[in-house]
């Protein structure tokens, strides 16, 4: 950790000096499954970057940066093709400037001027969007990236009510630090936690890995304050309200189209005194889904449930058991006794809170799991997963260095549809790759479970063509096929990554023409010139290849 420089890298994920090279067992597994050799995707040198100057903008207040690398940093989010474009120097468009307003007065004035001059404004939190949400699109409209970095930190704490108000640009660690000092937590841990921000979480309807216990951001937000070109909009925190439809829920997932969020009041809880994640193996994917469903329905007090399918389990065990002969032999023996040829599906289940409550929740879960013929593996796999959970994203860059592209996609559906949905998405991805005579291994897991269904998360790999345009085209084909398949199988367009620009062509399939009209009218009421995030949420243009 000492070599880690907390400066975010320009052409990849995370912070300079941090990395997560693929474990040898994972690399061997990938080489077995991908057709042919993989050639490293080279990294250019962004520091030599000389872009054309930004177009002339009207006079704007506050800090206006036209510095090349600042504009490059704010040109793209952190989806797979963003990484490909950033590392190969093929980013098609940059913002004309990056603005960092210092306060609400400056923010309001920027929006009023941009509205009058028809300059597009893309709010920027941590820039971790994986749906093209912060990407600058090429075209005649001048564009600025509006970085919320100066709206930062804990602004107010209502201890009696458990309400903490944060500036929208506050990243995950700076949310938890002041709360921890007061014995509190928000408990919102998306995998992008180290970089993503309060405003971004609200704007995308994000979900943390412990959403079973703490809730997704949609249940953590009590109040929110925005500024739109039409003026400020404040939705004060209330525990509940029947004052018409809940407009906070309209802001959640609005992806910048309804205004720039500058602060949010969040529901916080007592910091847990104890937390533990344990592991178990379930005989099959359908037995695992049934066990998770039972655990959630039983309201067993768990705060985390994550079930890997057989393939993800196989890879996980291969990596986890590499060099651990005794553990591997014990597992083989158990499988023999069970008459099973394969290990089945790995479940991580965790609880947090007072030590007695944690012990009670884990014991209750263990008893349900026994009824589902699970083999309990103890706390080791959970400990390793917790230790590495924010390091896993670095693997994407390390695999591109070896010529392998890896991406993820996610959805959610009622329990009754999850198995068919898994098969449909896997078939769509593998069939698309087969048409190029390539292979595309697909791993899946269920996380974020609810009484009526759960979120399905897929990780897929393919050999990355050396030509960045071909790499982007291939990814776009995979993404289109998977999205069509998941919608046809009854899944939602997104459980937590949001819509951004990349999912926008399919939004109407889910919410209907009327739903779209409601959103368009709301956006027009707050932003009559349509300058805010013009490519996100409501623009149906297919931008997957940009
Ligand atoms: C490796 C990796 C792991 C991830 N893991 C998760 C996960 O576990 N759970 C999850 O939910 N997501 C995850 N994501 C997706 C992403 O981190 C989330 O969408 C996150 O909420 C984005 O936050 P951000 O601050 O980076 O927003 P940005 O990427 O900066 O912006 C996202 C969108 O919100 C808008 N926006 C940002 N700030 C504001 C604001 N203040 N006001 C109005 N609009 C705004 C932007 O214009 C854009 O449309 C992951 C992404 C990566 C790259």
- pLDDT tier at 320, thresholds 50, 70, 90: confident
Atom number in ligand 1 closest to CA 78: 53
Using the predicted structure, report yes or no on whether residue 115 has a pLDDT greater than 60. Answer: yes
Flag whether pLDDT at 322 surpasses 80: no
Among protein residues, the one with the nearest Cα to ligand 1's atom 8 is 190
Q: Could you tell me the distance, in angstroms and rounded to a whole number, from the CA of residue 30 to the centre of ligand 1?
A: 29
Q: What is the distance between the alpha carbons of residues 121 and 260, in angstroms, rounded to a whole number?
A: 10
Q: Whose CA is nearest to atom 2 of ligand 1?
A: 192
Residue 2 confidence (pLDDT): 42
Q: Decide: 97 and 484 in contact? Cβ < 8 Å.
A: no
Considering only CA atoms, which of 211, 462, 229 is closest in space to residue 352? 211
Mean pLDDT (whole number) for 78-99: 97
Longest dimension (CA), the chain: 75
Instruction: Give the residue, by CA position, lying nearest to ligand 1 atom 36.
Output: 200
The strand order across the sheet containing 231-235 reads 154-158, 163-167, 260-267, 221-228, 231-235
Minimum CA distance residue for ligand 1 atom 5: 191
- Residue 225: alpha-carbon gap to chain centroid: 23
In tens, the pLDDT along 449-483 reads 999 999 999 999 999 999 999 999 999 999 999 99
**pLDDT, mean of residues 114-120:** 98
Based on the number of CB atoms within 10 Å of its own CB, is 114 exposed (0-12), middle (13-18) or buried (19 or more)? buried
pLDDT at 1: 39
Cα gap 197→174, rounded to integer Å: 9
| Ligand 1 atom 1: residue of nearest CA | 393
Q: How far is the CA of 75 from the centre of ligand 1 (A)?
A: 14
3-state secondary structure (DSSP) of residue 479? helix
Query: 10 Å Cβ neighbour count for 301?
Result: 18
Using alpha carbons, select from 270, 274, 273, 248 the residue that is nearest to residue 261. Answer: 248
Q: Please enumerate in sequence order all residues whose Cβ is within 8 A of that of 389, keeping only pairs 6 or more positions apart, or say none.
A: 189, 191, 209
B/e letters for 168-198, b = 16+ CB within 10 Å, e = fewer, are: bbbbbebbbeebeeeebbbbbbbbbbbbbbb
pLDDT of amino acid 408: 98
Give the model confidence (pLDDT) of 344-389 as tens digits. Answer: 999 999 999 999 999 999 999 999 999 999 999 999 999 999 999 9
pLDDT for res 5: 65
Give ligand 1 pocket residues (Cβ under 6 A).
13, 77-78, 122-130, 133-134, 148, 168, 190-192, 196-197, 199-201, 203-204, 206-207, 255-256, 260-261, 393, 496-498, 500, 533, 536
- The whole-angstrom separation of Cα 210 and Cα 187 is 7
Query: Each residue of 232-244: pLDDT tens digit?
Result: 999 999 999 999 9
Q: Which pLDDT belongs to residue 164?
A: 98
């Amino acid at each position: 950790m000492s070599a880690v420089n907390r400066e975010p890298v320009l052409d990849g994920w995370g912070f300079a000096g941090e990395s997560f090279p693929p474990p040898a067992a994972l690399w061997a597994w990938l080489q077995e499954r991908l057709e042919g050799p993989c050639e490293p995707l080279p990294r250019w040198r962004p520091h030599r970057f000389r872009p054309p100057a930004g177009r002339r903008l009207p006079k704007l207040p506050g800090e206006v940066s036209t510095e090349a690398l600042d504009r490059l940093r704010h040109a793209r989010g952190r989806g797979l093709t963003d990484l490909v474009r950033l590392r190969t120097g093929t980013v098609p468009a940059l913002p004309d400037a990056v603005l960092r307003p210092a306060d609400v007065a400056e923010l309001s004035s920027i929006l009023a001027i941009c509205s009058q001059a028809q300059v597009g404004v893309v709010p920027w939190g941590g820039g971790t969007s994986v749906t093209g949400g912060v990407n600058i699109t090429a075209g005649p409209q001048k564009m600025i990236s509006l970085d919320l970095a100066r709206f930062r930190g804990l602004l107010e704490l209502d201890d009696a009510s458990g309400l903490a108000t944060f500036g929208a640009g506050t990243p995950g660690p700076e949310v938890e630090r002041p709360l921890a000092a007061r014995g509190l937590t928000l408990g919102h841990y998306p995998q992008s936690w180290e970089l993503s921000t309060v405003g971004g979480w609200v704007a995308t309807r994000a979900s943390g890995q412990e959403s079973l216990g703490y809730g997704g951001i949609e249940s953590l937000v009590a109040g929110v304050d925005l500024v739109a070109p039409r003026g400020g909009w404040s939705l004060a925190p209330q525990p509940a309200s029947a004052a018409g439809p809940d407009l906070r829920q309209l802001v959640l997932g609005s992806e910048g189209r309804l205004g720039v969020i500058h602060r949010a009041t969040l529901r916080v809880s007592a910091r847990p005194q104890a937390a533990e994640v344990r592991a178990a193996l379930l005989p099959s994917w359908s037995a695992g889904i049934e066990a998770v469903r039972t655990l959630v329905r039983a309201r067993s007090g768990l705060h985390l449930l994550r079930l890997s399918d057989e393939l993800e389990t196989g890879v996980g065990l291969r990596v986890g058991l590499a060099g651990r002969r005794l553990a591997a032999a014990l597992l083989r023996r158990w499988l023999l006794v069970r008459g099973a040829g394969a290990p089945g599906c790995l479940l991580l289940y965790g609880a947090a809170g007072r030590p007695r409550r944690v012990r009670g929740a884990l014991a209750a879960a263990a008893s349900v799991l026994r009824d589902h013929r699970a083999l309990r593996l103890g706390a080791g796999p959970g400990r390793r997963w917790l230790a590495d959970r924010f390091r896993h994203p670095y693997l994407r860059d390390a695999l591109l260095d070896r010529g392998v592209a890896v991406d993820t996609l996610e959805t959610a559906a009622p329990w009754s549809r999850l198995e068919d949905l898994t098969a449909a998405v896997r078939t769509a991805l593998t069939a698309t790759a087969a048409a190029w005579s390539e292979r595309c291994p697909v791993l899946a897991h269920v996380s974020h479970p609810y009484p009526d269904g759960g979120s399905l998360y897929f990780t897929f790999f393919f050999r990355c063509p050396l030509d960045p345009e071909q790499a982007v085209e291939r990814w776009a084909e995979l993404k289109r096929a998977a999205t069509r398949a998941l919608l046809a199988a009854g899944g939602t367009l997104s459980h937590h990554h949001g819509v951004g620009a990349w999912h926008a062509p399919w939004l109407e399939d889910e919410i209907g023409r009327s739903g779209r009209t409601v959103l368009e009218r709301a956006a027009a009421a707050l932003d009559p010139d349509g300058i805010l995030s013009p490519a996100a949420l409501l623009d149906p243009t297919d931008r997957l290849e940009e």
